[in-house]
Amino acid sequence: MGERPIAAEARDLVKDFDGKRAVDGVSLSVPEGSITGILGPNGAGKTTCLRMMLGIIDPSSGTRTILGHDRPLEIAHQVGYLPEERGLYPAMPAVEAIAFMGALRGLPLREGRRRAMELLKSRGHEDWAKRPIRTLSKGMAQTVQLFGTIIHNPRLIVLDEPFAGLDAINQQKLEQLIRDQAAAGVTIIFSTHVIAHAERLCERIAIIAEGRAVFEGEVDEARGRLRPIVHLRTRAEDGSWRAALPPSAKLVGGEWQFELPASGPEPLLKALIEGGAGIETLSIERPGLHDAFIAIAGEAAAREMGHVPAVEEAA
């Protein structure tokens, strides 16, 4: 993270709805120019956290600061927000919808229209300009709303489940747009329950489960919580080499999987060879974010997100 200034910060955010705690003491800090992913299953409290940070709702307790302001709406003209529930006026032409979203955040309407046309043209969508939103497909409308989110050149962009409802091509385009914005120095926060997007895009993540931030830090830090996984296939089914495997080793589809022992790969290899394992294949895999997520948030959270644990079969 270095010494970069903080673009957005939450401290002990709590939100109760009708006596039920939706968010329970979430803290996170987002450095300027970073891409930060908020990961968690549906209902974990990601959207509520984002809404509190943006000032749409007030926290029951705790504080938040956006671009140095503790009243987020005061700095709304420097923030872009794509809500989870996409919302556009159905009768409004696309170019007007984009310009209107800019106007809400202080961009003069005329300038908004000009930039909207530029944005649409740059993506080859100029034929959408005059079309009312109701005549656009869901993906097209989502793109229009995304353009409306960035039309005023915000310093901070908050995207709530931005990939939901997009096909693979549009997901790729959106990922590129996020990278482009980040390259231009814009801070990006997005929530998702698809770990792959976070893994490809983020340098920082916050994992939220049951209203609590169970991890907040760099992606490598999350991965670093797990030891590398060894994948081993042997000709020998049994022998003294088995003593080199940790007790947690599991046999999955004829392949042994286990965490690399703390002593490292060399003593392991030596023990396997000397123990007559007859190594067919051996690979050491750095844990992915997915594994880190399961380790941090737990298998239940991973299941809610549609990710089943990789190691299923006990040895």
Residues that bind other proteins (CB under 8 A): 17-18, 20, 22, 41-45, 47-48, 51, 54-58, 71, 73-74, 76, 79, 81, 83-92, 100-101, 103-106, 109, 145, 148, 210-211, 304
Quick one: 149 or 234, whose CB is closer to other proteins?
A: 149
Element (H, E) at 219: helix 219-223
CA distance 203 to 260: 25
At 166, give phi and psi (nearest 5°): -100, 145
CB of 141 to other proteins, least distance (A): 11
Nearer Cβ to other proteins (222/297): 297
Compute the least distance from the CB of residue 223 to other proteins, in Å.
27
Q: Which two tokens stand for residue 26?
A: 């979430």
Q: Which is nearer to other proteins, 131 or 233 (CB)?
A: 131
Minimal distance in Å, beta carbon 289 to other proteins? 23
Distances (CA, A) of 163 to 83, 123, 133, 139, 197: 11, 18, 19, 10, 8
Q: Which is nearer to other proteins, 88 or 229 (CB)?
A: 88
The answer for residues whose C-beta is within 8 angstroms of residue 112's C-beta and 6 or more apart is: 98, 99, 100, 101, 102, 103, 151, 152
- Name which of 1 and 104 has its Cβ closer to other proteins: 104
Burial state string for 171-196 with b = 16 or more CB within 10 A and e = fewer than 16: bebbeebbeebbeeebbbbbbbbbbe
Nearer to other proteins, 15 or 223 (CB): 15
User: Which tokens is 21 given?
Assistant: 């705690």
Distance CA 29, CA 105 (A): 24
**Least distance between other proteins and beta carbon 133 (Å):** 9
**Cβ distance to other proteins smaller for residue 85 or 238:** 85
Distance from C-alpha of 4 to C-alpha of 178, rounded to nearest angstrom: 19
Q: Closer to other proteins by CB, 17 or 180: give it.
A: 17
Write out the two tokens for 259: 């965490």
Q: How far is the CB of 208 from other proteins (least distance, A)?
A: 12
Supply 162's token pair. 């931005």
Work out how close the CB of 229 gets to other proteins at its nearest, in angstroms, rounded to a whole number. Answer: 30
Three-state secondary structure call for residue 250: strand
Contact between 98 and 123 under an 8 Å Cβ cutoff? The reply is: no
- φ, ψ at 205 (rounded to 5°): -140, 155
Smallest separation, CB 87 to other proteins (Å) = 3
Phi-psi group of 201: left, alpha or beta (phi > 0 → left; psi -120 to 50 → alpha; rest → beta): alpha
Which residues are CB-neighbours of 227 under 8 A, at least 6 positions away?
A: 259, 260, 262, 287
313: amino acid identity, one letter: E
CB 296 to other proteins: min, Å: 18
